[in-house]
A and B are shown apart, each in its own frame.
Chain A
Amino acid sequence: MSASLAFEDVTCLRGGRILFEALGFALGPGEAGLVLGPNGVGKSSLIRIAAGLLAPLGGRVTGEGARALLSEAAALDSERTLAVALGFWARLDAHGDAVSEALAAVGLRDIADVPVRLLSTGQRRRAAFARVLASAAPVWLLDEPGNGLDTASLAMLEARIAVHRAAGGIVLVATHQPIALPGAQEIRL
């Protein structure tokens, strides 16, 4: 898997306020970035800039390889069953057969036939993470991936990230709670 993600002198402006200025880092295959900082400091904005959803005021973001985003919103059609809602995205990513495997990996295989609207916060979060897994994108952008997860799910998340990195993938994680990312580059805002 060849992948890279780099920020060069990136400045972020939101709501008339500079959130961070001249931020730079580079991640290569197998590396991880850990974005840390108090609430409202611009962690989510950084992830959105990395995902290409937000244009930086200055600087540029370069990289190689498809990116998968885990954000606060689950982006799953609430009236459909979990497997079908995830299948929509997996087919867009041309990995339609990866759904059941991804659901098993996050421990949701048993409720694959339950409508998304009936899922709990933690289950929804894990379902969104399953989409990241199923996408097979080399660059993962995870915004507060641990929110709403219990201890066992948190361990599952850490293990999956480790597997992804071992295979040459890149992970950029923004979090305010401790997540084990051995050898991760710390980006403090």
Chain B
Amino acid sequence: MIALVWRELRRAWSSGGVMLPIAFFLLVAILFPFAVGPDARLLGRIGGGVIWAAALLAALLPVERLVAPDVESGVLDQLVVRGFSDAGIAAAKMLGHWLGFGPALMAATCVAAALLHVPGAAPGTILLALAIGTPGLAALGIATAGLVAGLRGAGALAGLVMLPFAVPLLIFGAAATSGTPGAFKLLAAISLLLVAGCPWVAAAAMRMGRG
């Protein structure tokens, strides 16, 4: 199991699965000041929400390479022959994906928060909210990757499948960032639900894909 997690992490770093989404995340965060103007107070106020929206969009990028390449190359078949359960494989993929994507995103958030003039202690709150919310995003990414694996136009479809389910994360993530009471607990609840449920969705999709 550890070997599978490690393989995911290594592949994420070596194939651009981490650096590309992070660069995209920063780019989206940089675009907002150009769009809404250089008013530091306005940017500081919307900064948390902008970071969450950018994180969501960045989380879409690696989806195509999470499951489909392993289906195509037969890696999934070989794992199943060795007695790994689909849910176990999906859980290992989720963990490996988060270990690559989560901490890198949080590091990039420090840069983005400075660019957006997020004031005072708010960057710390944003980081905490991301630490709670990104496992949910990673889980959603694996489930989506399993569902769209092998389909044509999988990239575009992934957005349509994933983003609606990510709305609760966005709502409570942004609310937690702006200090709404109770939002942290709801964010954690949603994130936990996704982490617990998504491996089963991905597993069912991978099993159907074999039939």
Contacts and interface: CB of A to CB of B under 8 A. Distances in A.
A53 B80 CA distance: 7
A93 interface: yes
Interface string A92-114: 11000000000000000000000
A28 to B, nearest CB: 21
Interface residues of B, number: 17
A93 B77 contact: no
Interface in A51-93: 51-55, 67-69, 71-79, 88-89, 91-93
A110 B81 CA distance: 29
Interface string A3-41: 000000000000000000000000000000000000000
Interface stretch (B68-76, B139-147, B181-189): B68-76
Interface in B159-211: 210-211
Contacts of B75: 75, 77
A78 B210 CA distance: 22
Given A53-B210, A54-B211, A75 B7 contact: no
A74 B74 contact: yes
A53 B210 CA distance: 7
A69 B211 contact: no
Nearest to A15: B211
Interface residues of A, number: 24
Contact of A73 (B7, B15, B72, B80): B72
A79 B11 CA distance: 9
Interface in A173-187: none
A73 B81 contact: no
B11 A69 contact: no
Contacts of B151: none
A103 B135 CA distance: 40
Overall SS of chain B's interface: helix
A93 B82 contact: yes
Contacts of B31: none
Contacts of A55: 211
A73 B82 contact: no
Contacts of B15: 79
Nearest to B74: A73
Contacts of B3: 88, 91-92
Interface in B63-95: 72-75, 77-82
A76 to B, nearest CB: 7
Interface in A108-149: 131
Nearest to B7: A88
A75 B211 contact: no
B6 to A, nearest CB: 9
* B3, B11, B75, B78: residue with the most chain A Cβ atoms closer than 10 Å: B78
A71 B11 contact: no
A68 B74 CA distance: 13
Nearest to B211: A54
B82 A92 contact: yes
21 contacts: A51-B80, A53-B77, A53-B210, A54-B210, A55-B211, A67-B81, A69-B77, A73-B73, A73-B74, A73-B77, A75-B73, A75-B74, A75-B77, A75-B78, A76-B73, A77-B11, A77-B75, A78-B73, A79-B15, A88-B7, A92-B3
Q: Which 9 residue pairs across A and B have the least CB separation, nearest first? A: A73-B74, A75-B74, A75-B78, A75-B75, A69-B81, A51-B81, A75-B73, A73-B73, A53-B210
Given A51-B80, A53-B77, 7 more contacts: A52-B81, A53-B80, A54-B210, A67-B81, A69-B81, A79-B14, A92-B3
